[in-house]
Amino acid sequence: MKNSLKRAIIYILIAVFITAGLIQAIPRVNGETTTGFILASAGEDGQFGTKDDIVATDSQNVANGNPADISMDIAVPSAGEEKMQIMVQKIAVGRNHSLAIKNDGTVWTWGWNGYGQLGDGTTTNKNIPIHIEGLTDVIAIAGGQGHSLALKNDGTVWAWGWNGYGQLGDGTVINRTTPVQVKGLTNIIAISAGYYHSLALRSDGTVWAWGYNSYGQLGDGTTTTRYIPVQVKGLTGIVAIATGDEYSLALRSDGTIWAWGRNDFGQLGDGTTTSRYTPVQVKGLTNVVAIAAGDAHSLALKNDRTVWAWGLNGNGQLGDGTTINRYTPIQVNGLTNVVAITGGYGHSAALKGDGTVWTWGLNNYGQLGDGTTKNKYIPLQVTELANITAIASGANHLLALKNDGTIWAWGWNYYGQLGDGTTINKYTPIQIQNLNSN
C-alpha cells in the first residue's frame, strides 16, 4: 500500500508540473534509456538500485522550450552510491562569454568580463570557468551582449553585468559585477537575453521585457527604454521565448510564432522590413516546437523536425544555399531529425536526434567547427562531435554539451570564451577541462 501511495503521488506531481509549465519535455538522443526528466524514490529501504525503487519518467520526445535551455538527463544513482555526481547540466552563451549550470544549481562563467557579466565581482576576463559565489538553486541561464541572467527554482530572476539601458531590471543604470534580483518578477519559467534587452516568460503564459527599446523590442507599443519589467502587449499562451540583437520572438502553445522589434532584414518574418512595436505573427509557420534567434536572423524547429529560417542571409546563415535575405520563412536544406537549434552573429547550428551537430553560415573564426574558415551555405556536420545533448551560440563561438557532462567549444577565443585556458581561436571542438571536477 505504501509503494502504491508513493507512485500515485509522483504521477500526480508530474501531471501538475507539466500542466503548469514548470517541467518541459527534453528531446532524447537515440539510444539513451532515459527521457526528459526522472523522479525517483529509493523506496522503504532507503537504497537506490533495489527492487522497491519507484521511478517515473516523462515520455515526450520533442522540446517546447528555448533550445539553449536543453539539459542532460539526471541519472538515478546505482546501489552503493552515496550522492549524485556533480556535473554540468545546462549551457548558455552571451555575445563573448559563456555560462554553465551544474546539477547542484551552481553557475560557472568564463570569457569577456568588461562589464562584470561573469558575476565574480570583478571586470577581469577569465579563460577558464569560475564559480559565481552566492548564486544557488539556478535552473536556467542566459547571456546577452554584456549582461547575464539566471532563473532560480523559486521563480525569481537575477541579473548582472552591463546595465546602461536598464537591462538588469533593477530600476537603475548601474552596472553590477555580482547578481541582483530583477524587480517585480515572480513565477518565471524561462528567460532570454538580447543585445541590450531581456525577456522573461511567466507560468501564466505572459511575457515580460525590460532594457533598450529603440526598435520596439520590448513589445509594449512604445520605444521607451524600461528599467524594470513591463508586460509585452497582446501575448498569451506563450511556451518559449528568444531574443535577437534588437528584436524578440515568442512561441505560442498553438505552434505559431510571434515577433516584434527591429526588422530591417526581415528577421520578424512578416514579409516586410518594418519594425514592430507590438507582436506580429510570423507568416506561414505552424506546428513549431522550438525557436532561436541570431543577431538578425531567426530559426524555427517544426514538429516534423525540419528547420526553417528567415532574415539576414549575407553569410548563408539561413542554410538555403544562397545569400539572399528572406522576409518570410524558408526551409533549411537537408536537415531532418533535428531536436534543437541555435543562432549566432552570422551562423546557425542544429542538433540532431542522433547526437550529431550541424552548422552553416559565417566561419571567419572557425565557428562552424569544420577545421576551416570558409563560409558554408548549407548545413555540414561537425564531424568530431558525437553524443551531444545541447548546443548554444555566441556571436562567433559555440558550445556543445555531451551526455557525459563535458563541454566542447570552438570558434573565436579572443576573450577566453572557449574556456580552455588560452585566447587562441579553435577551428574544431576542444574540451573545456576540469569543469566537472570543481
All domains in the chain, ordered by first residue: 2-69 (no CATH), 88-437 (2.130.10.30)
Cβ-Cβ contacts under 8 Å for 14 (sequence gap 6 or more):
23, 39, 56, 58
* CA dihedral over 135, 435, 100, 29, signed as positive or negative: negative
Helix, strand, coil % (nearest 5) of the chain? Answer: 5, 40, 55
Distance separating alpha carbons of residues 373 and 244, to the nearest angstrom: 24
pLDDT recorded at residue 83: 62
Q: Per-residue confidence of the chain (438 residues) as pLDDT tens digits?
A: 444 444 444 444 444 444 444 434 333 333 322 223 333 333 444 333 333 333 333 333 333 333 333 333 333 344 444 566 889 999 999 999 999 999 999 999 999 999 999 999 999 999 999 999 999 999 999 999 999 999 999 999 999 999 999 999 999 999 999 999 999 999 999 999 999 999 999 999 999 999 999 999 999 999 999 999 999 999 999 999 999 999 999 999 999 999 999 999 999 999 999 999 999 999 999 999 999 999 999 999 999 999 999 999 999 999 999 999 999 999 999 999 999 999 999 999 999 999 999 999 999 999 999 999 999 999 999 999 999 999 999 999 999 999 999 999 999 999 999 999 999 999 999 999 878 765
DSSP 8-state secondary structure symbol assigned to residue 84: P
Distance CA 294, CA 395 (A): 8
Residue 67 buriedness (CB in 10 A; 0-12 / 13-18 / 19+)? buried
Would you state the pLDDT for residue 8?
Answer: 47
pLDDT on residue 85: 84
Provide the whole-model pTM. Answer: 0.82
Rounded to an integer, what distance in angstroms lies between the CA atom of residue 48 and that of residue 374? 51
Q: Give CA–CA dist 105/131, Å, rounded.
A: 11
Task: Give the amino acid at 295.
Answer: D
Alpha-carbon span 322 to 315, nearest angstrom = 9
Task: Specify the pLDDT at position 407.
Answer: 98
Q: What pLDDT score was predicted for residue 2? A: 46
Place of cell 572557425: 366
Q: Quick one: pLDDT at residue 434?
A: 72
Cell 566537472 identifies what position? 436
Closest to 250 (Cα-Cα) out of 219, 216, 295, 215: 219
Among residues 66, 24, 99, the alpha carbon closest in space to that of 243 is found at 66
What are 108's strand-pairing partners? 100, 131
DSSP characters over 342-394: EE-SSEEEEEETTS-EEEEE--TTSTT-SSS---EEEEEE-TT--SEEEEEE-
